[in-house]
Structure 1
Amino acid sequence: MEFTSRNLKILGKSVIPGATKTIELKIAKLHTMTQLKIPIIVSRSVYEGPTVLLTAGLHGDELTGIEIVRQIIRKGLNYPERGTIICMPLVNVFGFVNQSRDFPDGRDLNRVFPGSANGSLASRFAYRIMNDVIPTVDYVIDFHAGGRSRFNAPQIRIEPNNHELDDLADAFSTQFLLYSNNIDGSFRSSCDKLGKKYLLFEGGKALDINTSIIEEGIKGTVRFLDKLQMLHKNFSVEKPDKKMIYIENSTWIRAQYSGLLHNFTPNGTFVKEGETLGIITDPYGLVEEPILAPNDGYIICENQASIVFQGDAVYHISTQLKDE
């Protein structure tokens, strides 16, 4: 490996080869006049290599992703054998403080990228990330979770027909790979337009810290870094227990009635068309309505709410696997 003499600059701060530095991105003040700062932890090897960005907490209530990146830092996995690893464990500190998905202006940060220097608070922050951080990186892993009651099985989401992303997702290797098109205004879409290779990890649900999902996220990141020859020699790679399942298409099964939700089908289960996944009941013992699988497929998300309303999403099921 070749040594590097190139200093890396983020927000006007230089990080020399072999150094680790925390750079603070100042975003705004609270109405209490308290300045909010986002720590960006930059760790560099003395050897040339790519730059990987690990982000979490884009939605401030998605705690499992925050814990994944925190543990990566705590374990020292962010010290690369070559190249640079940048960690932003908590992007949306506003949402984290308020235990909310959104910014104080009511906007979803993941729908305002690439942002604007003169836009809303969320838009201005997105603009800072895209202009001050993203130009320095080559790869992004962004950690997410489901909504407050919707628990996602561990999955990587990438856009279809991108062979390099396929290879990187294979290296990460979790329970499911879900092909999904980029959404306008999303962090993923904006990174893609700049040529950054982006993996979106989904697992668990909001306002919850799940140990098994955290382990999946950490092990996958280790395999990803090993693929890029960035994993420090002090760490070993644990191969996945099972082959990843590739999902081309999927759909939501929605509640046909309001009532109490009784779930019989855990995440990751393969079900057959017509199989009873759960039931919806009334409180009075008069109604028990089954929720039936519309097709053969894998359950990749389950609604863990006790009460649902008509039209609520209750299960996310695959409808087509790759090469079916």
Structure 2
Amino acid sequence: MGEEEENKDIVIGGETVNPGQNKLLTISIDRLPTGTLIDIPIYVFNAKKPGPTILIQAGLHGDEINGIEIVRRMLYEKRFKITKGAVIAVPILNIFGFIHFSRDVPDGKDVNRSFPGNRTGSMASRIAYHYVSEIMHQMDFGIDLHTGANQRNNFPQIRYTEEDPNSIKLAKVFNAPFSFSSRLIRGSFRNAAFKMQKPTVVFEAGESMRFDDFAIREGMQGILNVLKHFKMISKIEPVYAERSKTIHLQDHKWLRAPTAGMFIPKIINGSEIKKGQQMGMVTDTYAKNTKKIKAPYDGYLFCVNHQAVVNQGDALFHVGR
């Protein structure tokens, strides 16, 4: 009787994580003007038995902190005790943005528009380059954790790539409250993963620079759903979010401010909507001019802009059906 097959090695930054090992590794990216070296911390959990390698990453935009807390909490609760395959967990990809409370790196560039990157390019491009060469080629699937930006609060949702059947399957397994296809954006992590034939989904929940415990628990539940589906864990205890099947949205659109003024929402995020229903209003400060915002069709609300003072054309509600 032959020996049982072992899982593959994971090699990052010249350091090897053998089957059965767990390690905290780092990739050196750049220095602050003070000379302080900036590293990206990477946790690797490599089980003895063979299975898929799943990348779970957060902080691609440094101000989107819910994802960072999802990974931190799962590390703290030792939720990556897998029995097969491997998990590569990256709590903060964009360290520069995180310490500057910013979506971008200090030169103003977006790391999520800089893939696959360049070894001698801008800071954002170098981060993307090292990430592709050190990590992405080793993953089989990716889960990218985000929040809404600029005070936009996303109800927990999973976005997948329509052109990739395995990305669609991964979204179904994750089973967030809402799911829909999202176009590939040039220079994005998901676009780079698609070109490398690495199925990836994006979890969006909450808003930037604000913790949302509901969004965090939904994200943790989705990740555990994926690990259990691939038999990397045997059970999920505790269950963070009891839910039925994801609501799949076939199409979606933004409802925009009809005029400048103060924005007053009249509906709770995540709610079902009915055609013609008043969802909110934009009013001037003198109560002389008020514009109602009504639902364009029967469907669901899955993002609300929490900006109180808006300009004409600003995106206020994201709805789908």
TM-score, normalization by structure 1: 0.94
Aligned match of 2:102: 100
Q: 1:156 aligns with which of 150, 155, 158?
A: 158
CA distance in structure 1 between the partners assigned to 2:301 and 2:237 by the alignment: 33
Aligned-pair CA distance for 1:232: 5.3
Aligned match of 2:308: 306
Equivalenced residues, count: 319
Which sections of structure 2, spanning at least 5 residues, go unmatched? none
Aligned match of 1:208: 210
CA distance in structure 2 between the partners assigned to 1:185 and 1:281 by the alignment: 39
Aligned-pair CA distance for 1:6: 3.9
Aligned match of 1:225: 227
Aligned match of 1:289: 291
Q: 2:125 aligns with which of 99, 119, 123?
A: 123
Which sections of structure 1, spanning at least 5 residues, go unmatched? none
**Conserved in 2, the CA contact under 8 Å of 1:174 and 1:240?**
no
Helix, strand or coil at the partner of 2:51: coil
Aligned match of 2:260: 258
CA distance in structure 1 between the partners assigned to 2:66 and 2:26 by the alignment: 23
Helix, strand or coil at the partner of 2:184: coil
For 1:139, the aligned partner's letter is F
CA distance in structure 2 between the partners assigned to 1:54 and 1:101 by the alignment: 19
Offset from partner CA, 1:4-59 (integer Å, 9 cap, x none): 16432112101111111111111100111111111101111111111111000000
TM-score, normalization by structure 2: 0.95
Aligned-pair CA distance for 1:307: 1.1
Aligned match of 1:46: 48
CA distance in structure 2 between the partners assigned to 1:252 and 1:34 by the alignment: 43
CA distance in structure 2 between the partners assigned to 1:85 and 1:204 by the alignment: 24
Helix, strand or coil at the partner of 1:131: helix
Of 2-11 and 50-59, deviating more is: 2-11
Aligned-pair CA distance for 1:204: 0.3
CA distance in structure 2 between the partners assigned to 1:204 and 1:97 by the alignment: 20
For 2:190, the aligned partner's letter is R
- For residues 1-324 of structure 1, the aligned pairs below 5 Å read 2-4=4-6, 6-231=8-233, 235=237, 240-318=242-320, 321=321
Offset from partner CA, 1:199-239 (integer Å, 9 cap, x none): 10000000011000001000111111001111256846677
Of all paired residues, the percent bearing the same amino acid is: 38
For 1:101, the aligned partner's letter is R
Of 92-101 and 177-186, deviating more is: 177-186
